[in-house]
Structure 1
């Protein structure tokens, strides 16, 4: 069955939290603490209509958090179930995020990632994101990046 992107429902909460935990747990040792995405309140984010999921054969396999801001759309999190990694779901969600941003009238999309997640920084640079600054927030060293959609 083809992957289907939809807004998350409250019934998806445990699957969303599980995917985030499994996708980010390999980074805990590298960072020295849980990545920020592991501490987010997904119940509130789902209730706010900010969480999108990729469903395949009735099972959630990936999640995307998009948070509207004044001048940009924040890509707050993207996580893929480890057993589904390599299927192109992350790339599909990155494209979907840009499509949503354009539909909402944004000229830019932004994100941040931990500086220890070097492979993410390389990926985001490769697909057009530019580093804007680095900052320590909540004890996490983050790299902030923006992509122009104009």
Structure 2
């Protein structure tokens, strides 16, 4: 991967973060019948909190990650890869970074959730060793909760 790295997002990245997330989730609009939750996030505030990371080269943002410590876990709120770059393993690179950060912070596990109609995501996370931890409706979204131990 040519000069691609993961770094903490800066205020100047806000527009690129939004564009990447919008592009990544657009395929789910019809399937869900509504906008996915990540399209309603306040990326300006999240970037200011220091919980947004970008996978980027010098020219463009190719992926976005939103994660934060929560109890003894690392909570992944969002993983998005621009559709132009999907299928190149960038999602795996972002998730490996999550795991690395969780181990560095000596946390017990990684937690995340996805919508039940995002079946590609469920397969992806299961392939990475995540186990389903429950399903419930939150804010009108049918979510599947997953976890992966770090110990």
Question: Could you say which TM-score interval applies, normalised by the shorter chain?
Answer: over 0.9
- Structure 1 moving runs of 4+ over 2 Å: none
Q: How does 1:50-61 map to 2 (within 5 A)?
A: 50-61=51-62
Residue 6 (structure 2) pairs with residue 5 (structure 1): yes
Aligned match of 1:18: 19
**How many Å apart are 1:126 and its aligned residue?**
1.4
What is aligned with 1:100?
A: 101
Structure 1 stretches of 5 or more lacking a match?
A: none
How far off is 1:2 after superposition? 2.5
For 1:127 and 1:67, locate their aligned partners in 2 and report how far apart those are by CA, in whole Å. Answer: 19
Match of 1:37 in 2: 38
1:121 partnered with 2:112:
no
Paired position in structure 2 for 1:71: 72
* Partner SS, residue 33 of structure 1: coil
Q: Which runs of 5+ in 2 are unaligned?
A: none
Q: CA deviation at 1:70?
A: 1.0
| Total equivalences in the alignment | 150
Q: Give the corresponding residue for 1:134.
A: 135
Distance in structure 2 (CA, Å) of the matches to 1:96 and 1:62: 12
Structure 2: how far apart are the matches of 1:46 and 1:75?
14
Q: CA RMSD in A?
A: 0.9
Question: Could you say what secondary structure the match of 1:128 adopts?
Answer: coil
Shift of residue 145, structure 1, vs aligned partner: 0.2
Q: Post-superposition shift, 1:89? A: 1.0
